[in-house]
Structure 1
Amino acid sequence: MKALLFFASLGFVAAENGLKGWLRYESLPCSSQCRRNLPSGIVALNATETSPVYVAGLELQEGLKDIYGSHAQITHSQCETDSVVVGTIDQYRQTCGRMDEPPELDEDGFWLSTSGQGVQILGQNERGALYGAFEYLSMLAQGNFSEVAYSTNPSAPVRWVNQWDNMDGSIERGYGGESIFFKDGGIVNDLSRAAQYARLLASIRINAVVVNNVNANATTLTPQNIEGLGRIADVFRPYGVQLGISLNFATPQILGGLSTYDPLNKCVIQWWTNVTAQIYKRVPDMAGYLVKADSEGEPGPETYNRTLAQGANLFAKALQPYGGIVMFRAFVYNQLNESNWKADRAKAAVDFFKPLDGKFEENVIVQIKYGPIDFQVREPTSPLFANLFHTNTALEVEVTQEYLGQQSHLLYLPPLWKTVMDFDLRVERQPSVVRDIYTGKRFNRKLGGSAAVVNVGTNATWLGSHLSMSNLYAYGRLAWDPTEDAQEILEDWIRLTFGLDNKVLQTLTRMSMESWPAYENYSGNLGIQTLTDILYTHYGPNPASQDNNGWGQWTRANHKTIGMDRTVSKGTGYTGQYPAEVAAIYENLDTTPDNLVLWFHHVNYTHRLHSGKTVIQHFYDAHYEGAVTAQTFLTQWESLEGKVDPERYEDIRRRLDYQTGHSIVWRDAIVNFYHNLSRIPDEMKRVGNHAWRVEAEDMDLTGYETYVVSPFETASGSMAIVTNSNSTTGTATTTLDFPSGVYDLAINYYDLYGGVSQWEVYLNNRTIGHWIGNNEHTLSHTPSIYLDGHSATRINFRGVQVNQGDVLKIVGTPNGIEPAPLDYISVLPPGTVD
């Protein structure tokens, strides 16, 4: 067994901006034994500079140099026994001779052997060889010199990511800057970031990127843009990453000048045949098309009374001569009437697609969101996976945290994804784990796999947050092997991203694994969905926005009851879409898990859960517990100062500090909303009681005036203060009536998009601190122009000596449309959570 090296404490290098992601290859000490284990040279069995095998040789050379200072030379034609040899099995046979027992590899699979004198990295194809090179470097970067000899194959052939980039350079639900692909209606000139992205994706074995938004712009397919897409494909190709394109169904009419986009019209068929040929002439290895049709206002075949299968098959037939795939999204639904007790958006996917099972062409894959609504903090597994026996399927997840903190909140997503991947649907009373369905094993389908909405941008952190990159890394690992453990994947990512210090590993692991339960607790629990504002930014709290509209993310909450009745016996009938064994569990209130009870049942707030708590008391307790957990993320991270480079340390510290405050905004909004609605008190007497808080509207105001905030629950006491005008400085003063001592001073305010106000805080005319309202420039979530749960935030000044009777004064200077708004102050004994 070769040495497995551990480094308890390593010094950090200069500040890092995150651009290298998990491929930073930190320099590690190398003992004499380590030197003996390193290969003396590299044999890359393809000398063509654009080939993945050639790139694998370069990656190995640079990685060995960066990690261990080894200067291995690359050759291409001779197999040296003490070298690392990388190539395909066929290339190895041609150059190095027969293999005694060649490994059995599927497409993209690879063999890695560090046994004996040299290292063998052999792929079924060149892409697989590159994957193996990254696997070997990952081991070395984690100080692992174990002897291994194994082959690994992908769980499914489709391992894609979807970008929601728009032609103007913006990104829908993107929180990491502008597009790395598009600007001003065309493809950017400098595609160096696109090449870097392809490198990151290849290292986690992603094989295709759909580069443009599913809400597609028809101009993507102009001749000029097809040429530009070809340039993207050219920089992807050396990394084994293929290009995919989202289509607007009505493009023949919008761009082609036809009077129709009817999928059965001969002219339309010919138009798509011709444009597909043009694309493949420029991009001969294009992966295929992604189509969103007849959903959320997007055009589709139903305009002409054609089925979704007929629409998908239009593209499938155009792609078949080239081996391309159609990913057809199952996210199809119509607006509904909430007064109809049977109406249920969650039923839409099965209602639309089950009757079409077996009617899709063999190169069509139906891309199914993990839950039946829309990337919520917890949803039951989509029943569509159990209703398509003769149709290829793929699982769709979201790396971009659309409803889930938008990269301004720490949230490690794989434990959420695994609730679906590992769920047994018991189709025909037989084991039917979801991961075996979408990979094609359960129903013997040739195609299948997964897709993730990622939305990287020009920000150096790619996603807008260093910690959010754990989700992209883990997605790739789970796309390859969905049986992997979420925590073990996380630990690999931490070592690769932040080094081998054991305290860093333990702390970040604990924080990340606690993040989803915490976010679920303070945003929305018991299966009620994420109680965010679905009509505006999908970010901060606004539970009322879920109801009284046609979007179907309803809670059906009133002053006595809450939850969707989705039973067959009394409700929407949704439970009947599951196989019998699963349906029986969800149909019965007594057997439905607490964490999904409000998804499946409409109950009184006083209904007792299996835990023994009432629904409303669980709401109160969970939201307080979630916010308390979020406070620990900052203190845990601050314990790592000096163990992480200063640039990344401070950027992450600032985001976690923000999350501590915004989790309290979430907590207060939700508990106040349901307390007001139900009129049932909190047994712990926390809701509405804030012993350490002073409301801004109760302070002495000069140049400030009160303002009624909407929704009411996103302000303490439903009121805030704003300056009298956008050119008038405001002053708010109060005499503090707290025992003398050292306190943490927390100030809640609103940070609006469209202005950068300034505030100064004084104690007895002594400056305590100042801040500016620039979250729109320093954080990643979609900003707001209103005083609401999206703009509500908090600043903390810790360790302030306060004497009883001291006068606290805040001076706010407005800017732009932002009137220096304030909500309240809290004077907190250290360690107290307001």
Structure 2
Amino acid sequence: MLRILLLYLCALAAAENGSQGWLRYAPVPCDKACQDALPSSIVTLDRNETSPVYVAGQELQQGIQRIFNKTVPINYDNCAAPSSIIVGTLRDYNCSTQDIPELGEDGFVLNTTGDTVQLLGHNQRGALYAAFEYLSMLAQGNLSQVAYASDAHAPIRQVNEWDNMDGSIERGYAGPSIFFANGTVVDDLTRAREYARLLASIKINGIVVNNVNANATLLEPRNLDGLRRIADVFRPYGVQIGVSLNFASPRDFGGLDTFDPLDPSVVSWWENVTDQIYQRVPDLAGYLVKASSEGQPGPLTYNRTLAEGANVLARALQPHGGILMFRAFVYDNNLNESKWKADRANAAVDYFKPLDGEFEENVIVQIKYGPIDFQVREPASPLFANLNRTNVAIELQVTQEYLGQQCHLVYLPPLWKTVLNFDLRVDRKASPVRDAISGKTFNRPLGGWTAVVNVGTNSTWLGSHLAMSNLYAYGRLAWDPMADSEDILQDWIRLTFGSDNQVLDKITEMSMASWPAYENYTGNLGEQTLTDIIYTHYGPNPASQDNNGWGQWTRADAQGIGMDRTVGNGTGYAGQYPEEVAQLYEDIDTTPDDLVLWFHHVNYTHRLHSGKTVIQHFYDAHYSGAETAHSFVDMWESLRDKIDQERYDDVLTRLVYQAGHSIVWRDAIANFYHNLSDIPDETQRVGNHPWRIEAESMALSGYKPYAVYPFETASNATAIITTSNSTTGTASTTLSIPSGAYNLAINYYDLYGGSSLWTVYRNDDQIGQWTGDTKLGHIPSIYLDGHSATRVTFRDVEFRSGDVLRIVGEPDGTEPAPLDYVALLPGGVVD
């Protein structure tokens, strides 16, 4: 009985839910020689329990205990003790006369070559970073001798959380807010403290805790007191909090009759509010503002410039040392597509370039990496090259708003690097975007990084175990943008899943293939992610890109596709870049294929540098991307015995879903452009599905056909739904196929508002059962469309010719047990 109990306890210990992220500190084999080589004490050069140095000492003690099962005592005053780890600031370190290199703000020295391990920071935050970096080495089994100094690429390294006061999160896919609920700050901030620890471990030094679409009630006294509590939680980890502001707060919340930034009463109101916040949070990082964009209020309401609006807040912050992050994402839905020169991509430069030099010195213009909106591929925003007297920061997006919403594996650093490494050629000199955001290109004092992250209460933080690689990599790149994407990924894999070579190889292969695959089956050649831009930004809906005022257009018609952004004949966008880059994009012959439709409008028969026509590239890429997504399932299944069951099952569920949804994407895009252009696929795949049985062609009882919109998000444009929300439906067909084993794939729709039950039978034998609940953390649609379309697969099912395949659907709530089609796939065949 005791042995059984011990085995049970070991099994419990092995199960993991992802809450520790890459800070699991899983045990590493360590023999006696290894144990003897480990330091025997920790010297922490600060006794203040709220200081990052004190936290570093605690983290080191706990980490070494968990990694090597060795208890290392902490002391605070004997830095001459041999075989010790010394952690503190350079100012407090007086244990050696050796030369220590000069360090920038937040920089640190990590030295393991002598009798002591030195973890020394320019400031307390830097010392904590050194401790986490040392522990990262140990957790990967790396006990090598190293000695180096490390400095931050830029002073600003923030995350933005789009949390709302009611606890919801805009573009969040991992449950409700860890900060807010019911209009106020939550009482229990344990989860926030754990997040602060994760951020500090990747050298993030700031967090904006509320949505850029801000609610002015954040400024209520009870919520300002709540901000104090949040700041108290993050401060020991060296992370300063900031807040998003609603620009109309003086009127909508403060009782004034105006929010005109030049009105003296408004100026005084903002100064007073800022003083009140700093009384509670004296180290507040500052403010983030989204103004005059997407319906948000701003200075343009009063015909004031964006700089005048930013400066009233920046001046209120100056006495307190705060910074103002002002988003360059300024546009509205009033563009007219019939005007050939209309172009949302022009907006950032049009608005901000004329204001260069007019912003206060503590203003940082926060620029999205591309000129549209976190697409699967965009050119680097030309605004980075057009503000030479203004501080700038790059805005990335860890939460996968347009890129699969954590339901699809997409490792993002290779995408980010296309922008960071892009050479803007300012004054015909090497000018990579990474140098513009650090301040190097134009010799600016401030600059850096921000990323929209949107963690939630889900134990995995982002809703997906594999998605956490993007948060980890963001921090690593913000510290050092020259770091290699694959090297970063492999560090994360070892820290998260262990050092087994097969695990390392397979997750690396999957992750590095994931962004190219997603680009292939969603939108390529620079045409953007062909999702529904009006609704949830998730599933396919290419028609939604055009004929609206938002300007996220492809200008697709029966003859051709693409935005002409040339100076000579188009919107002029290409001319916003410095001359060498403008010339590159002006000429279709020198424009790279992966951005050709971003800069040029062409016929579907236009031949790319690859030799393929545009339309055939569409077909081939979408089929190739879906095949790659399907390969992820087999790769992951090869790791079944190497990863704990909880995480293995969760990741497998998502990869199986992604494989099915990639087929939805593939078919929708291929069918849409086939229908629009009337040009056939040279390989005759599009519209030809020999393994499918359309649901509407089956014998139906209690079911009826339903015309799906958009048409391309259902096979043959048609699905079936139950005749009422209380009627059980049956769809059956007699099979005429060669006898053998098949993978039975069933495409259906999982709607918000119900959890239907489907049961599938072979003759009278039940094959399986499933419910309308993808278990992905969110259900993105109330309609039958590309967002809700999904697939369930039963593998290796034996069928004979003459068998009756029967599916029984029981509706629930507003979900009428919808079915699209059945596919009987021989082994190795991707539908």
TM-score of the superposition, structure 2-length normalised? 0.98
Q: Deviations over 1:76-119 (max 9, x none)?
A: 111112110000011112xx2x4320221111000000011110
Distance 2:830 2:272 in 1: 64
Question: 1:311 & 1:784 partners in 2: Cα distance?
Answer: 37
Distance, in Å, in 1 between the alignment partners of 2:810 and 2:87 is 63
Report if aligned partners of 1:12, 1:644 keep a CA contact under 8 Å in 2.
no
CA distance in structure 2 between the aligned counterparts of 1:758 and 1:293, rounded to whole angstroms: 46
Match of 1:256 among 251, 254, 257: 254
- Distance, in Å, in 2 between the alignment partners of 1:513 and 1:639 is 18
Task: Name the SS of the counterpart of 1:720 in structure 2.
Answer: strand
Gaps of 5+ in 2: 1-9
1:15 and 2:12 are equivalent in the alignment:
no
SS at match of 1:309: helix
Counterparts of residues 228-247 of structure 1 (less than 5 Å): 228-247=226-245
Which of residues 816, 819, 823 is equivalent to 1:822?
819
- Structure 1 residue 783: Cα displacement: 1.6
- Paired AA for residue 194 in structure 1: A
Could you tell me which residue of structure 2 aligns to residue 472 of structure 1? 471
Distance 2:273 2:698 in 1: 67
Aligned mate of 1:142, from 140, 143, 153: 140
The amino acid across from 1:300 in the alignment is G
Structure 1 match to 2:584? 585
CA contact (8 A) 2:731 2:808 kept: yes
For residue 183 of structure 2, what is the aligned residue in structure 1?
A: 185
Instruction: Determine helix, strand or coil for the equivalent of 1:827.
Output: strand
Cα distance in structure 1, aligned partners of 2:830 and 2:184: 50
CA distance in structure 2 between the aligned counterparts of 1:767 and 1:759, rounded to whole angstroms: 11
- Secondary structure of 1:161's match? strand
SS of match in other structure, 2:331:
coil
Q: Counterpart of 2:421?
A: 422
Equivalent residue, structure 1, for 2:319: 321
Shift of 1:646: 0.4
Q: Distance in 2 between matches of 1:127 and 1:749?
A: 51
Q: Structure 1 residue 12: deviation in Å? A: 11
For residues 144 and 33 of structure 1, the distance between their equivalents in structure 2, rounded to whole angstroms, comes to 14
Query: Which residues of structure 1 form unaligned runs of 5+?
Result: 1-9
Q: CA deviation at 1:612?
A: 0.3
Shift of 1:32: 2.2
Task: Give the AA of the match of 2:783.
Answer: Y
Once the two structures are superposed, the pairs formed by residues 693-708 of structure 1 within 5 Å of their partners are: 693-708=692-707
- Letter of the 1:250 counterpart: A
Match of residue 68 from structure 1:
68
- Distance between the aligned counterparts of 2:125 and 2:758, measured in 1? 55
Residues 800-829 of structure 1, C-alpha deviation per residue, up to 9 Å, x if partnerless? Answer: 111111110000000000000000000000
Alignment partner, residue 7 of structure 1: none
Q: Does 1:280 align with 2:278?
A: yes
Q: Give the superposition deviation at 1:11.
A: 11
CA distance in 2, matches of 1:666, 1:427: 39
Aligned to 2:152: 154
Code of the residue aligned with 1:137 in structure 2: it is L
Spell out structure 1 runs of 4+ moving beyond 2 A.
10-13
Aligned residue among 191, 202, 205 for 1:204: 202
How many Å apart are 1:13 and its aligned residue?
5.3
Q: Give the Cα separation in 1 of the matches to 2:564 and 2:724.
A: 49
| 1:514-550 Cα deviation digits (max 9, x unpaired) | 0000000000000000000001110000000000000
Correspondence for 1:388: 387
| Residue in structure 1 matched with residue 651 of structure 2 by the alignment | 652
1:59 is matched with which residue? 59
* Aligned equivalent of 1:619: 618
Letter paired with 1:52 = P
What secondary structure is seen at the aligned counterpart in 2 of 1:90? coil
Are the counterparts in 2 of residues 291 and 326 from structure 1 also a CA contact under 8 Å? yes
Are 2:564 and 2:570, in contact at CA under 8 Å, matched by a contact in 1? yes
One-letter amino acid of the counterpart of residue 69, structure 1: N
Query: CA 1:154/1:16 → structure 2, altered by over 3 Å: closer, same or farther?
Result: same
Aligned mates of 2:556, 2:802 — CA distance in 1: 45
Per-residue Cα deviation, 1:51-99 (whole angstroms, up to 9, x for no partner): 1000000000000000001100010111112110000011112xx2x43
**CA-CA distance at 1:671 after TM superposition:** 0.1
Residue identity opposite 1:823 in structure 2: D
Quote how far apart the aligned CAs of 1:140 are: 0.1
8 A contact 2:752–2:779 mirrored in 1: no
Task: Kindly report which structure 2 residues correspond to 1:753-764, keeping only aligned pairs within 5 A, or say none.
Answer: 753-764=752-763
How far apart are the structure 1 equivalents of 2:104 and 2:70?
Answer: 33
CA deviation after TM superposition for structure 1 residue 780, in Å = 3.3
**CA–CA distance in structure 2, aligned partners of residues 582 and 303 of structure 1:** 35
SS state at 1:706 partner? strand
1:104 to 102, 105, 115: 102
Seq. identity, %: 70
Secondary structure class of the residue paired with 1:26 = coil
What CA distance in whole angstroms lies between the structure 2 residues aligned with 1:361 and 1:205? 27
1:788, 1:375 → 2: CA distance?
23
- Determine the structure 1 residue equivalent to 2:682: 683
SS class of match (1:43):
strand
The residue aligned with 2:89 is 88
Q: 1:284 aligns to what SS in structure 2?
A: coil
Q: Contact between 1:406 and 1:781, CA under 8 Å: does it hold in 2?
A: no
For the 8 Å contact 1:372–1:379, the answer to whether it is kept is: yes
Match of 2:794 in 1: 797
Return the letter of the residue paired with 2:113: S
Matched, 1:596 2:595: yes
How many correspondences in the alignment? 820
Normalising by structure 1, we get a TM-score of 0.98
Residue 322 of structure 1 aligns with an amino acid whose one-letter code is: H
Which letter does structure 2 place at the counterpart of 1:519?
Y
1:38 aligns with 2:38: yes
Matched, 1:786 2:783: yes
Look up the match of 1:3. Answer: none
Residue pair 1:12, 1:645 contacting (<8 A) in 2 also: no
Say whether the 8 Å CA contact 2:750–2:779 is kept in structure 1. no
The answer on 1:765 being equivalent to 2:758 is no
Q: How does 1:508-657 map to 2 (within 5 A)?
A: 508-657=507-656
Counterpart AA for 2:776: L
> Partner residue of 2:3?
none
Q: What amino acid sits opposite 1:828 in the alignment?
A: L
Alignment partners' CA distance in 1, 2:778 and 2:481: 29
Counterpart amino acid of 1:61?
Q
Q: CA deviation at 1:833?
A: 0.3
CA contact (8 A) 2:246 2:289 kept: yes
Corresponding letter in the other structure for 1:248:
N
Question: Aligned-pair RMSD on alpha carbons?
Answer: 1.0
User: For residue 265 of structure 1, what is the aligned residue in structure 2?
Assistant: 263
